[in-house]
Every structure is written in C-alpha cells, then in structure tokens.
C-alpha cells in the first residue's frame, strides 16, 4: 500500500447509464482506499442531459465544501461525465472549487454515433425514441432525458458547447483515452467500433480517439488487447492484456500529486 494522499480530494464522475458504485467503477474505489486517497462520487444522473447534471454536480460539491471543509476538488470523469464537469466549471462557477479535471474517453469533440442516432433513429416521434425514454426510466434515472443527452454529444452540438464553455485558466485539464484493436475486444461495441473505424479511424467503440483529446496533457492508453469505452472504468474487474485498469487511475493520482494538487 502506498500513501498517495492529495492536497484536494478526488471526485469520480460517471458517464451515461452508470451509477455511483463499484458496479461501474470496478476495483478503482478499493485501489483508492488502499492508497489513502480521499474520494467522493459526483452524484449525477446517468440519463440526464449536460445542463441538468452540471447542476447536480454543483449542488453535490457545494454540499461537500460545507460538510468536509475541502477548498477544492480534483475531478476524474468518464465519458459524458467530463462534459457535465466542464459545463459546471465554465458556466456555473465551478472553477472556484475545482483544481483539476481529468477525463477518460470523453467526447470533447462529439461522437458520430450521436449524430447517427439523432438522424436515423431519434428524430420526430419514432418508436426507438419512445423505447429509449422508457428504458431510461426503468433503469432509474432521476430526471431522464436520453434524447437530449444524445443530442448534447453530437459533433455539431459539441462544437457549440466548446465555444460556450472554454477552459478556465486556474483549472488544470488533462485527458486520457483508450482504443479497441478489433471488434472482438468487446462484442458489446462491435458494431459501433466498425462504424467509427470507417468514418473516424481509431476509437474505443463509442468515441473516436482524436475527439477525446483535451487540455494541457493527453495520453493514449494502450494494452496488449484493445480497451473499450466501458472497460476503461474497470467494469469487468479484470486485467486487459498486461494492463491493470486501476493502475491507470493511480497513475492519474500520482501525476496530480506531482503537480501539488
């Protein structure tokens, strides 16, 4: 066990269709506890749009400021969670209590998957649109708005988002992303991997690699076997090739510690 305590606590922020527990974060919470890393969860909604989740994140962090005495936080966000966090930081005054934002597989430049879904399946009053809405309710969303959520992550919408939510000077931004090598790396993403490979090149089954690049530093996470969009959160609780997923997060912590954060 190593003592990797930071100046500011960590806040883990999940993405779409996820929750704040070890079901979605795998062995990562245990790795944090084993290394004396103080952390909290973002308490956002797996099915809410960006603006609603940014408000939930704001309320949660302000509550943590009051109850813990923490002055600032280091945010680590997966997928859409990174967009929720950026909106909070840039538009809702979050830069005052956020020291850093580290994103993993976040569609900072959008994902063509969202554009495809909006154009082909979620326009008008389609059956697919109604089905997605129903599923989001059944899976326990606090304020589910799956169609708006998907629209938020389209390439077009993210270009507008980036203009309205610039990086803040006093916040350190860094990004990480993995890629799949073949469709067999994760059959859940086999079809979307093939589609994105055709239209955008390297990807993790959901986000093109180049669209996940953001901030002062970027790292392409590689292993002997490809790492999918979900696998990067250690949801499968197993090593991928030669890579232990929790070590990625401990590496992020070590980097923040070196920066005095």
Per-residue pLDDT at 226 exceeds 80: yes
- Which residues share a beta bridge with 102? 76, 174
Q: How far apart are CA 207 and CA 7, in angstroms?
A: 32
Q: Provide mean pLDDT across the span 95-120.
A: 91
Q: Report helix, strand or coil for 153.
A: coil
Nearest-Å Rg of the Cα atoms of the chain is 17
Q: How many CA atoms lie within 13 A of 151 on its CB side?
A: 12
| Cα angle 142, 234, 146; round to 5 | 30
CATH number of the domain within which 75 lies: 3.40.50.1820
Give me the pLDDT at residue 118, please.
72
Examine residue 236 and state whether it is found in any structural domain, yes or no: yes
> Two tokens at 129?
């649109």
Examine residue 14 and state whether it is found in any structural domain, yes or no: yes
pTM above 0.85, yes or no: yes
Examine residue 22 and state whether it is found in any structural domain, yes or no: yes
The edge-to-edge listing of strands for the beta sheet with 39-41 is 39-41, 10-13, 73-78, 98-104, 172-178, 217-221
Examine residue 231 and state whether it is found in any structural domain, yes or no: yes
How many other β-carbons are positioned within 10 Å of the β-carbon of residue 2? 11
Place of tokens 């389209």: 154
Q: Provide mean pLDDT across the span 115-141.
A: 52
Examine residue 143 and state whether it is found in any structural domain, yes or no: yes
Burial (Cβ within 10 Å: 0-12, 13-18, ≥19) of residue 255: middle
Q: How far apart are CA 157 and CA 107, in angstroms?
A: 11
Examine residue 5 and state whether it is found in any structural domain, yes or no: no
Comparing 109-123, 131-145, 189-203, the range with the smallest average pLDDT is 131-145
Examine residue 219 and state whether it is found in any structural domain, yes or no: yes
Domain that holds residue 109: 10-258
Beta strand residue intervals within the chain, DSSP E: 10-13, 39-41, 73-78, 98-104, 172-178, 217-221
pLDDT digits (tens, 9 = 90+) for 8-50: 999 999 998 888 987 899 999 999 999 999 999 999 998 889 9
């Amino acid at each position: 066990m190593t003592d990797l305590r930071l100046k500011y606590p960590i806040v883990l922020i999940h993405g779409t269709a996820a929750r704040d527990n070890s079901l979605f974060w795998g062995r990562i919470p245990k790795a944090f506890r084993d290394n004396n890393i103080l952390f909290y969860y973002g308490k956002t909604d797996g099915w809410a749009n960006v603006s609603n989740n940014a408000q939930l994140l704001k309320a949660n962090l302000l509550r943590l400021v009051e109850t813990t005495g923490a002055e600032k936080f280091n945010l680590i966000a997966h997928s859409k969670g990174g967009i929720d966090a950026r909106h909070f930081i840039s538009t809702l005054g979050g830069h005052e209590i956020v020291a850093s934002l580290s994103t993993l597989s976040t569609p900072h430049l959008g994902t063509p998957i969202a554009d495809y879904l909006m154009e082909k399946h979620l326009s008008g009053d389609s059956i697919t649109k109604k089905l997605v809405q129903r599923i989001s309710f059944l899976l326990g969303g606090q304020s589910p708005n799956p169609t708006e959520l998907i629209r938020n992550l389209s390439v077009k919408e993210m270009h507008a988002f980036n203009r309205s939510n610039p990086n803040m000077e006093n916040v350190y931004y860094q990004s990480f992303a993995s890629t799949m090598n073949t469709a067999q790396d994760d059959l859940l993403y086999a079809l979307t991997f093939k589609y994105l490979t055709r239209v955008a090149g390297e990807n993790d089954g959901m986000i093109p690699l180049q669209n996940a690049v953001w901030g002062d530093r970027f790292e392409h996470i590689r292993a002997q076997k490809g790492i999918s969009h979900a696998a990067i959160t250690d949801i499968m609780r197993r090593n991928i090739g030669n890579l232990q997923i929790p070590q990625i997060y401990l590496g992020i912590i070590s980097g923040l510690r070196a920066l005095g954060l």
